[in-house]
Amino acid sequence: MTPLQLMPASIASQTGTVIDHTQAIWTSLSDFGRTTIGPVISVLVIVAMALVILRVMRTVIRRMIRHLVERNEKPNRELTLKINTLSSVVESGGRALVIVIAGMMILSNIGINIAPLLASAGVVGIAIGLGAQSLIKDVIGGFLILFEDQYGVGDVISVNTYSGVVEHLSLRRTGLRGTDGSFTIIANGDVRAVQNLTKDWSRAIIDVDISHDDDIDQAVAVLTEMLDGIQDDPELGSAILAPADILGVQAMGPYQVTLRVMIKTIPMEQWRVQRVLLRRIKQVFYSSGATIPYPRSETVVRALDEQTARAPLFAGVPDNSASRDE
């Protein structure tokens, strides 16, 4: 006989009821855990895994960048800009992929059938591909810009009548910061002709105007003496790559003669070198006696006798003054 059969009928009935209630509660808790707590834990695990993957991916990309930069004893500016740009693009693309996969896994765990979503996504993808040709063109253009190393973040470029420093570069767009602080966004598909002012090296071009009365040879000699050994200058030497090239007379105007000087510099330093040298040239030229060209005119006054004054202005024109006097 079982223990319940040995008990009185009332106690056995109450004990059986308690057991049934306990089993029902346990079943309810199990169902709740299976239907609610389980998916919540699964979602939390997926989110945690996605965050870990994003952090690991970011760390790996940065370590790869550091390895590429430190591999060269003196990494040039172009390599650094290209690595930083490519790392930002790769990181953003990987982040989007991880987020999409994690979102699909979360939807699957909470009981949503993602098969129709995938099928719909395929149809929508075809429709978007047909209607978003400009977006595809922008992405292809951005890939070519990065692959061909046309420009990178930090370069000063001129494109489509806009110019400025590249502050943002992705597969879809390029962001330029102008000298006035304005931020211009250009679609990469619209980039055709690009003028990169900071590619490999730059050049400071200095035009000096002197008066027609000044001695050109003396002015060239003054420039030569001033710019001799400029690459060893304590203020500008670190920015100059080669000795100054004095071209001589570049142009002649109605009031001035233009002398041109060109100096090869490291990228982004040509404007500073130009400003400093213009200040120095002004001081040296003033001390050497050169004059500033300015518009001027000459007035010639001649005294004419009475016979010359009465002569006709144009040959062949009769003088009718005598007939008028009569």
pLDDT in tens, 197-211: 888 889 999 999 988
Cα 189 to Cα 177: distance, rounded to the nearest angstrom = 19
Q: Picking from 146-160, 188-202, 295-309, which range would have the lowest pLDDT averaged per residue?
A: 295-309
- Residue 183 domain boundaries: 150-196
Q: In the numeric block, which tokens belong to residue 325?
A: 């006097």
Let me know if residue 212 belongs to a domain: yes
Which of 51-60, 102-111, 159-168, 294-303 shows the highest mean pLDDT?
159-168
Beta carbons within 8 Å of 206's beta carbon, 6+ residues apart = 260, 261, 262, 263, 274, 277, 278, 281
Distances (CA, A) of 146 to 54, 77, 87, 170, 234: 23, 15, 11, 9, 37
Let me know if residue 70 belongs to a domain: yes
Q: Looking at the structure, do residues 259 and 174 belong to the same domain, yes or no?
A: no
Q: In the numeric block, which tokens belong to residue 40?
A: 């919540």
Let me know if residue 272 belongs to a domain: yes
Question: pLDDT class for 322, splitting at 50, 70, 90?
Answer: very low
Structural domain count of the chain = 3
Residue 249 belongs to domain with CATH number: 3.30.70.100
Distances (CA, A) of 324 to 223, 306, 316: 67, 17, 19
Q: Looking at the structure, do residues 95 and 35 belong to the same domain, yes or no?
A: yes
Distances (CA, A) of 174 to 162, 258, 264: 11, 38, 28
Let me know if residue 133 belongs to a domain: no
pLDDT in tens, 146-155: 777 788 888 8
Cα 47 to Cα 215: distance, rounded to the nearest angstrom = 78
Q: Looking at the structure, do residues 217 and 256 belong to the same domain, yes or no?
A: yes
Let me know if residue 125 belongs to a domain: no
Q: Looking at the structure, do residues 20 and 94 belong to the same domain, yes or no?
A: yes
Task: Tell which residue, 160, 159, 163, has the closest CA to residue 178.
Answer: 163
Q: Looking at the structure, do residues 259 and 242 belong to the same domain, yes or no?
A: yes
Q: Looking at the structure, do residues 23 and 108 belong to the same domain, yes or no?
A: yes
